[in-house]
Amino acid sequence: MFEEIDYILEAQNAERFASLYACSSKCLPDIAFSSFGDIMEYLSTLPFSGTSWYNLDRISWNIFGAGKEKTAPGSAATDNVGCQRTVGIKVPKIYWNFTRKEVLTMEWIDGIKLTDESRLRKANLNRRRLIDQGLYCSLRQLLEVGFFHADPHPGNLVATEDGSLAYFDFGMMGDIPRHYRVGLIKMLVHFVNRDSLGLANDFLSLGFLPDGVDIQSVSEALRASFGDGTRESQDFQGIMNQLYDVMYEFNFSLPPDYALVIRALGSLEGTAKALDPDFKVVESAYPFVIGRLLVDPSPDMRRILRELLIRNDGSIRWNRLERLIAAISQQASETEGETQKSYLDSLGSFDIRAVVSATEDLFEFILSDKGSRVRVFLVRDIVKAADVFYQDEVLNNLLDEKLRARRLFGSEEHGILVRVVRGFHSLGRAVKLAPDLWSAMLIRMVVKPEFQKFACDISSALISHFKYHLPVSFWMCISRLLHRVVDKDEADAWNEVYLGRE
């Protein structure tokens, strides 16, 4: 058994993990001590409390000629990693002077087990915040950086009294390359949106399916596994149960890295359920995934964002676009009103600059030669929405309220109109957060000849459509008004006859 243990490697994993994800805590100044007594005397002067703690990493001391604390060659401590850290994540310090291949010596961190409800309650810790911290850190590992803790079960995580999460046991780690991370993002997007064909193509491109497999058959099997939509909110284990039959039928083959990813997601959800039994990892991860699509300007991420909002035939997925805009505007409103909050949930937050940049990239794609079909469908949908607005909000208000009520929500075109109106309302709230950025982007778009031509196409289509409808509608209004006048005169005449008889 001991031949398999390599605590040097595990310690290096811990330091690399800390350099990538652990937030720097309050540190002490560099001070050299010559004896243990000097250390104790200095520590006695520090204002320790139950909710504050000090990281002693920077204290360098020399006892019996031991010299400064060593750093393992090739460990992350010697690397200059310019990477975003996750708030509230701690990793124990490695003491290299006392670490060997068979011996691992780490910093002691006091913590509370995530399954200890009474102590968590007594410490007054925010469980939702603990879940969000762990989920955000795990998603950064799996989708953004690639180096991940493959076994984040409750035994390897504790909550500290200051509300942080401390990670332990870095023996089982994974490192997935970028193309696998992009593939995982695509799978999450396609699964959440129940895009069975897109999911089947993801499996094929990642090498999960054998060559020559019938993608359409895989897609149909996946669609059948989704059911009638009542199981959309299942947890991760439920999702895997849905997919197991399909995986067995089509002889799926998972690379070792993805097997570790599945283990990590399962362990993550199990850990979160210790704090919240209703937690669902895929559902909770979706806002982070959308945030990654908006922030990352790389071509593959922009392509996934386009696939999310635009169908293969070029038509717009208005329902998804509406949900995305609503999520952005909701976060913008919450961010604007959270000046008093010390902690902002990173999962649902969107960088407004990244949102504007992604919107501009999407517009440029639509205006390019590759977006010609999208422009055709956009013109069609705009004309349909304008026609429904004209019929429901103008004519039927004048003619017949009952007819208007019958048409309400009664057509696909009206659904598009409702989504467009809601989308513009939500977008307006997001624009208020950074009007200068949106205005600059809009000006850059308006001055483009392609945009001006597209605006002319929309205007021409609307004029062409309504030049036939307006005369007809006009005479319909006149006819309806005349009928009302005649009906009113007849009613008055009958009333006079009735009253005369009395």
Q: Are 12 and 75 in contact (CB under 8 A)?
A: yes
Using the 8-state DSSP alphabet, how is residue 350 labeled? -
215-226 and 236-249 helices cross at what angle (nearest 10)?
Answer: 150
Q: What is the mean pLDDT of residues 193-216?
A: 88
Residue reference for tokens 């200059």: 80
Q: d(Cα 95, Cα 107) in Å, to the nearest integer?
A: 7
pLDDT tens profile 295-335:
888 888 888 888 888 887 888 887 777 777 776 766 555 55
299-309 and 318-336 helices cross at what angle (nearest 10)?
Answer: 110
Q: What is the mean pLDDT of residues 453-461?
A: 91
- In this predicted structure, what is the pLDDT of residue 312? 77
Give the predicted TM-score (pTM) of the model.
0.69
Q: Above pLDDT 90, what percent of the chain? A: 19
Residue of 416 and 142 predicted with greater confidence: 142
Q: d(Cα 458, Cα 465) in Å, to the nearest integer?
A: 11
Q: What is the mean pLDDT of residues 87-112?
A: 91
* Opening angle at CA 501, ends 499 and 502, nearest 5: 65
Q: Tell me the range of 93-97, 204-208, 472-476 where mean pLDDT is highest.
A: 93-97
Q: How far is CA 176 from the centre of its chain?
A: 20
Instruction: Tell me which residues are annotated as active site.
Output: 151
Q: How far is CA 73 from the centre of its chain?
A: 37
Beta strands in 49-136 (DSSP E): 60-61, 89-90, 112-113
Among residues 67, 65, 91, 128, the alpha carbon closest in space to that of 11 is found at: 91
Question: In sequence order, what DSSP letters do the residues of 6-39 get, joined into one string?
Answer: -HHHHHHHHHHHHHHHBPP--BPPP-EESSHHHH
Residue of 391 and 133 predicted with greater confidence: 133
pLDDT tens profile 148-200:
999 898 889 999 988 899 999 999 999 989 888 998 898 888 888 888 888 99
Q: How far is CA 391 from CA 62, 144, 380, 409, in A?
A: 85, 48, 16, 13
Q: Is it the case that residue 405 has pLDDT exceeding 70? A: no
**pLDDT bracket for residue 409 (50, 70, 90):** very low
Q: What string of H, E and C letters represents the secondary structure of 418-453? A: HHHHHHHHHHHHHHHHCHHHHHHHHHHHHCCHHHHH
